[in-house]
A = this chain, B = another copy of it.
Amino acid sequence: MPSLPPHRENALRQLIQKLGLPANSSINWPLLDQALTHPSADTAHNYERLEFYGDAVLKLAASRFLYEHYPDASEGDMSVLRDVLVSDRILAEIGDRYNLERYLLLGKSLMHDQTGRLDRIAEATEALIAVLYLSGPHSLQWVQPWLEPHLQTAAQTAQQDPAQHNYKGALQELTQKHVQTLPDYRVFEVGEPSAGKQAATANLRDRFVAEVWLQGKQWGQGSGNSKKAAEQVAAKVAFLALRDELEEKP
C-alpha cells in the first residue's frame, strides 16, 4: 500500500494519542486512513469492510465486559444491555468524544450535510475499532482498555434509565399514564403453525417471537431465544414508537 501524505499521517497519529495509545504504536496507518474514509470520498478504499469487521469486534468486547462485570446477570439481561452497548447512539457518542468527524474524509456532496452525520460517526467508530484490533496482536489487547471505560459509562447510564433497562416496565408506565390501559403481549414459538406470518420477520435464529398490541394495533415485534427476551425486544420497539406518538405531539 502507498504511504500516506505526511499531513494525513500526522493527523492520524494525533488521534491515536488521543485514544491513549502510545505514539509509537505499530498502527497500520493505511488501514486507519481507510477506516476514516467515507464511501462518498472513495468508492473502493473506504470504511465499509472494516465497519463489518469492527461490528463483530465491538460485540465481543461488549460481551466480555458484561460477562466479567455482571457475573449474576442472566443471559437475557446481558442481551438487553449488549444491544445498548453496540447501538449506533453509543458508538456515535464515543466517536464524538474523540472528534472523529475531523478525521473523516467525506465526498464534497456530504461536506455540509448534517443528515446521517451520526450514522457516519458510528460507522467510522466501528471501523476504527477494527483497525485497533487488526493492528494489535490479534486480540482485544488494544481495544478493551480503551473501549471499556466507555462501555462501563454506557452500561451504568442504561441501568439508571429504567426505560433502557426494562422496556416492559417503561412501556407499562407509559400506557397507563396516557391511555389508562396495559399493553397486550402475544408470544409465538417459531415453527409452531400459529406463528406462521409472525415468524416471517423474526431473526431466523431466534426461537420466540413476541408482539405488543395496544388498542387493536400492533406497536412492536421482537424475537429472542426466550419468551422474556423476545418480549423485551418487542417492548423496546413499542416503547420508542409510542413515546413519540403519545408524548411528542403538540
Contacts and interface: CB of A to CB of B under 8 A. Distances in A.
For the residues of A in contact with B, the DSSP-based class is helix
B64 A52 contact: no
A48 B67 CA distance: 11
Contact of A52 (B75, B119, B140, B207): B75
Interface stretch (A7-15, A18-26, A53-61, A147-155): A53-61
B53 A64 contact: yes
A119 B226 CA distance: 12
Contacts of A219: 200
Contact of A221 (B73, B75, B200): B200
A87 interface: yes
A200 B119 CA distance: 18
Contacts of A237: 200-201, 204
A56 B88 CA distance: 18
A249 interface: no
B56 A63 contact: yes
Given A52-B82, A119-B207, A139-B140, 15 more contacts: A49-B73, A49-B74, A49-B78, A52-B63, A52-B66, A52-B79, A53-B67, A56-B62, A59-B59, A88-B205, A138-B139, A200-B219, A200-B237, A201-B221, A201-B237
16 contacts: A48-B75, A49-B67, A51-B75, A51-B225, A52-B67, A53-B64, A56-B64, A57-B60, A57-B63, A60-B60, A86-B205, A87-B205, A123-B225, A200-B220, A201-B220, A204-B240
